[in-house]
Amino acid sequence: MAVVEGVHPPGEYPVVVVGSGPGGLQTAYALSRLGVEHAVISQDDSPGGMFRKWPIYQRLLSWTKPDAPYDRSSREYEWYDHNSLIADEPELRATVAAEMDRTYMVPSCAEMARGLVAFAVRGGVQVRYGCRWESTRREDSGYVLVTSDGEYRCRAVVFALGVTDPWKSPIPGIEDVPHYAETPLAREFQGKSVLIIGKRNSGFELADGLEPWARQIFLVSPRPVQTAVLATATVRVRYFEPLEDASWGGGTFALDAAVERIERTESGGFRLQAAGTTRPGPITLEADAAIAATGFRTPIQDLRELGLATVADGRIPALSPYWESTTLPGVYFAGNTMQGAAGLRKNGVGSASGTVSGFRYNARLLAQEIAKRLGHKQEWQQLGRDEIVAFVLTELRAGPEIWTQKGYLARAVYPDGSTGIVPLAHFLDHCETGSIAVTIEMNAEGEIYPVAYVRMGEEIDERALPTHPLNDFGGDEYRRALESLV
């Protein structure tokens, strides 16, 4: 029996968005702005998604700088606030910044959650809460989502589910090891030795949180921590203390080893057998407690049976540059699952699509793409021929989309003078002759510089522009380079 009261009751919609975390809220807001009719459903009872419970011990990783070179109500300010969702109305901007108590540069979990609620409430984002997506069917014209409230029929569906399902690597004995998501309060580890399986973000978050309590900490996984990459990565704050402790030979060890087996000891602890990787040889460890910080996966439920292709060892859907499943047309993903569209990864540099800072922009482009496919007419900003260079220089200096999504999103200007943000991979393969796009990119040495791409017939001319000591890419040198290209 379908439940028909309340917002977005079961029925037929052009688009259904599943999820009320930042990815779902941003997509729903952007669809509304474009006038695309849609329903939003969420199994939760309030907005915020994973930020209502995670990170467990810590603050967030990304900056929100309450005061910055640009006013908080401006678009340029977004580059200094990596946690708020984006909007056209000043009162919907910087909602996380407004919650910050300025104790730290990064918001607490509670500040983040309040900022998201403020966006949802002020932005009038309508969500049908307490409505759980249970299964999926494919029909000629699209998809049917079976939910706890009834069936939703749609041509396009956007799953904004996060990468939130606890995932354990297939190690014999790991079933006895609690997952990160089940970690109790830090004080319960007082005086204990703790084995953490995993040396990524969540593993180091636990190690950092447990440093003041635990007697000894062992972090174990096959691959070494990439300290060179870490140096410029947002997650580095979580690695500082445990790695410092490890490098001083203190109570923390970060071991590179493939875990072969975990078993319980008679005293209720854990014993781990592993084979060293960076330094080969057998390793046996015993500890009072163990936690599997082996990561998460997107809760795709029955989509795999419909043919959804995945990456990351089955954990994340494989996505096109516009975040559509590579195998299920009309199935899109928003939120941090957008990392399933890796982009070009030039010089090994990844996107910011795994965090709010990056996927908020992707969500706006996704809404535009869906609107286009549904036949909605959209207004694009138009530039006169003599305005193009000055406009592009302004974007290179402070365009938050290209600064946040380095080498992933591009500012494009087309031959008819229209301009917009576009996934770089899509631009390179689909733009018409005479189109130009610019990006901000970073090389393996951490140098930041603009790159211009010009389409001429079948060829793309890729032109890296020089670096600048103040990252001011608006000056004469850049003007001359762009004038020669436009």
In the complex, which residues of this chain contact other proteins (CB under 8 A)? 170, 222-223, 256-258, 275-278, 280, 295, 304, 309-315, 318-321, 326-327, 340, 342, 344-348, 425, 428-429, 443-444, 458-462, 464
- Minimum distance from residue 318 beta carbon to other proteins (Å): 3
- Minimum distance from residue 464 beta carbon to other proteins (Å): 8
Rounded CA separation 164/94 (Å): 25
Contacts 24+ apart (CB under 8 A), 228-236: 231/446, 232/442, 232/446, 234/61, 234/62, 234/355, 235/61, 235/201, 235/204
Rounded CA separation 102/64 (Å): 9
Rounded CA separation 323/158 (Å): 9
- Minimum distance from residue 400 beta carbon to other proteins (Å): 23
Rounded CA separation 160/169 (Å): 24
- Minimum distance from residue 346 beta carbon to other proteins (Å): 3
3-state secondary structure labels for all residues of 175-203: HHCCEHHHCCCHHHHCCCEEEEECCCHHH
Residue 345: C-alpha distances to residues 229, 348, 351 (Å): 14, 5, 7
Which CB sits closer to other proteins, 347 or 381?
Answer: 347
- Minimum distance from residue 165 beta carbon to other proteins (Å): 14
- Minimum distance from residue 112 beta carbon to other proteins (Å): 24
Which CB sits closer to other proteins, 153 or 346?
Answer: 346
**SS3 assignment, position 437:** strand
> Cβ of 257: how many Cβ atoms within 10 Å?
22
Which CB sits closer to other proteins, 40 or 425?
Answer: 425
Write out the H or E segment, with its range, that includes residue 155: strand 150-159
- Minimum distance from residue 313 beta carbon to other proteins (Å): 4
Which CB sits closer to other proteins, 269 or 350?
Answer: 350
Which CB sits closer to other proteins, 7 or 444?
Answer: 444
Rounded CA separation 453/456 (Å): 10
Which CB sits closer to other proteins, 208 or 256?
Answer: 256
Which CB sits closer to other proteins, 241 or 260?
Answer: 260
Which CB sits closer to other proteins, 268 or 280?
Answer: 280
Strand partners, 257: 276
Tokens of 363: 């969500």
The pairing of strands 281-287 and 296-297 is unpaired
- Minimum distance from residue 405 beta carbon to other proteins (Å): 16
